[in-house]
Amino acid sequence: MTTVDTRLEDRVDRRAGTASLLHVENLRVAFAGTEVVKGISFTARPGGCLAIVGESGSGKSVTARTLVGLTGARSRVTADRLDLAGTDLLHTSERAWRRVRGSRIGFILQDALVSLDQLRRVGDEVAEPLRLHGWGTRRTRAAKAVELLRSVGVPEPEVKALQRPYELSGGLRQRALIASAIALDPPLLIADEPTTALDVTVQAQVLDLLAAAKERGTSIILISHDLSVVARMADEVAVMRDGEIVEHGPARQVLYEPRHEYTRLLLDAIPSEHTRGSRLTGPAVRVRRPVDRDRPVLQAHNLAKVFRGPDKVDRTVVNDVSFELFGGETLGIVGESGSGKTTLARMALAILPATEGRCCCTAHPGRRCLPPSADRYASRSAWSTRTRSAPSTRAGPSARS
C-alpha cells in the first residue's frame, strides 16, 4: 500500500480533558428529498485539527457549509445535536448567523473567483468581517487588512489592497480569502480546500499560519483531498464516502493503518516514487500522435506585459517570453502564483493585448500575427471562425503581479 509521503509525527493529545468546542451528532442534510449527508457525528476541540477527506461529491463541502449556515433555504438540515460552545446552531436565525460568522466561526471558501466581489477592492473584502462586527474605524480596518494580507504572503499588500479581485492571480485571490477568514481570530476555523490554488512555496506559508493559529488554541476543521496537507495538520481524520463517515480516528492510525477498504483505496491512489509512470486507476488505451515539427501552430515572439497599478507605478509581469507550440505537442508553463503564467496565456489567446512582442497562430491558412497594438477584441476574430452571439464582458485587465 502507498503511504503518505509527508512524515506524520506522533501527536499526543495534550487536550484530552479539554471540553469540545463544537458538537455534531447525527447530522443529516437533504436537497429536494435527496440526502447528501447521512447521519455523521464528530467533535472539534480547541487547539485541535479535524480533517475531513474523501472524493469529490462525498459531502465534505456540504458539511462545511452546514456548520456556517450556508446550505440554502431549500435544504433540510436535521441533527440530534449541533452546537458551538453551548450555542444551538440548528435553530439559529439568519440574523443570529451573521453574528456568528466571522467572529466565532471563520470560513475559508475554495472558489476565490466567485467568493470575492469583483467590484470591490480587495482590502475592503478582507476588512468586511471587521466592519460587520464593529471592529475599529475605517482607517484602522484598512490598516488591519493590509496587515492580514501581508501575514498570508501577499506581496506589496498596500497595492494589492487597492486592486479588484479580477486584477489578482488565482493564488493571490485565495490568500485574500484566507486573510478575511482569520481577520477576527475566530475560535473555530473551517478551511475548505484552503491550499488548492496555491503553489508549494505559498502553501507551506499558509499551512504555517494555520498551524500557528492552532497553537494559539484555534480549532480547525480542514476539508481537503490533499493527504500530504492532512498529514501535516490533522490530529484526527474523518473519511467520507457518499455522505457517510466510513472511518474516523487519530491521524496516524487512519493514514498509516487504515481499517476501511475505501480509506486504503484513497491512500493507494497517492502518487509516489513506486507508482511513477503507471496508472493509478483502471487501464486505458492511449494513442499518442507524432509531433509535427514542420510548422508550429502557435508562435510567441518576445512577449511582454506591463500593468500600471493603483499607485501609478508600472510593473512588468511578463518580460521577453518566446515559445513555439507544434501540432500534437503539449507545452507546460509552470511557476509560482503571480509569476505571469495566466497573463502569458491570455496574451497567447488574444484576450489580453501585449505591451511588446507578437503572437502568430498558423494552425489555419490566412491567420495573421497579432502585434501589441492590435485591438483586444477585434483581434480575437483572427483566432476563431466561430461567430460570437453576444459581446464579451469587459471586466478590465488583470494585473497578475
Domain CATH for 260? 3.40.50.300
Same domain, 257 and 111: yes
CA distance linking residue 230 with residue 237, whole number of Å: 8
Say if residues 327 and 291 touch (Cβ distance below 8 Å).
yes
Question: For position 391, what pLDDT does the model report?
Answer: 39
pTM for the model: 0.76
CA distance linking residue 95 with residue 71, whole number of Å: 15
Residue 7 lies in a domain: no
CA distance linking residue 167 with residue 151, whole number of Å: 20
Q: Look-up: residue for cell 481499517?
A: 259
- Domain with 341, as residue range(s), is 292-382
Residue 183 lies in a domain: yes
Same domain, 119 and 177: yes
Residue 129 lies in a domain: yes
Q: Which amino acid is at 394?
A: R
Q: 348 burial class (0-12, 13-18, 19+ CB within 10 angstroms)?
A: buried
Residue 133, C-beta contacts closer than 8 angstroms, at least 6 positions apart: 99, 102, 103, 184
Question: For position 73, what pLDDT does the model report?
Answer: 85
Say if residues 18 and 46 touch (Cβ distance below 8 Å).
yes
Same domain, 224 and 299: no
Same domain, 158 and 304: no
Same domain, 227 and 307: no
Strand partners, 250: 236
Say if residues 66 and 77 touch (Cβ distance below 8 Å).
yes
Residue 8 lies in a domain: no
Same domain, 310 and 232: no
Say if residues 384 and 399 touch (Cβ distance below 8 Å).
no
Residue 367 lies in a domain: yes
Per-residue pLDDT of the chain (401 residues; tens, 9 = 90+): 444 444 444 444 444 556 889 999 999 999 999 999 999 999 999 999 999 999 888 999 999 999 999 998 889 999 999 999 999 999 999 999 999 999 999 999 877 778 899 999 999 999 999 999 999 999 999 999 999 999 888 999 999 999 999 888 888 888 899 999 999 999 999 999 888 767 787 788 888 888 888 998 999 999 988 888 899 899 999 999 999 999 999 999 999 999 999 999 888 877 654 445 555 555 555 666 777 787 788 889 999 999 998 888 899 999 999 999 988 888 999 888 788 998 999 998 888 999 999 888 876 555 556 555 544 434 444 444 333 333 333 334 444 44
Same domain, 308 and 245: no
Cell of 198: 496555491
Same domain, 201 and 346: no
Residue 353 lies in a domain: yes
Question: For position 245, what pLDDT does the model report?
Answer: 96
Question: For position 278, what pLDDT does the model report?
Answer: 52
Tally of structural domains, the chain: 2
Q: Which pairing describes strands 22-31 and 81-84: parallel, antiparallel, or unpaired?
A: antiparallel
Same domain, 358 and 227: no
Same domain, 202 and 262: yes
Residue 16 lies in a domain: no
Same domain, 217 and 132: yes
Question: For position 281, what pLDDT does the model report?
Answer: 54
Same domain, 338 and 260: no
Residue 17 lies in a domain: no
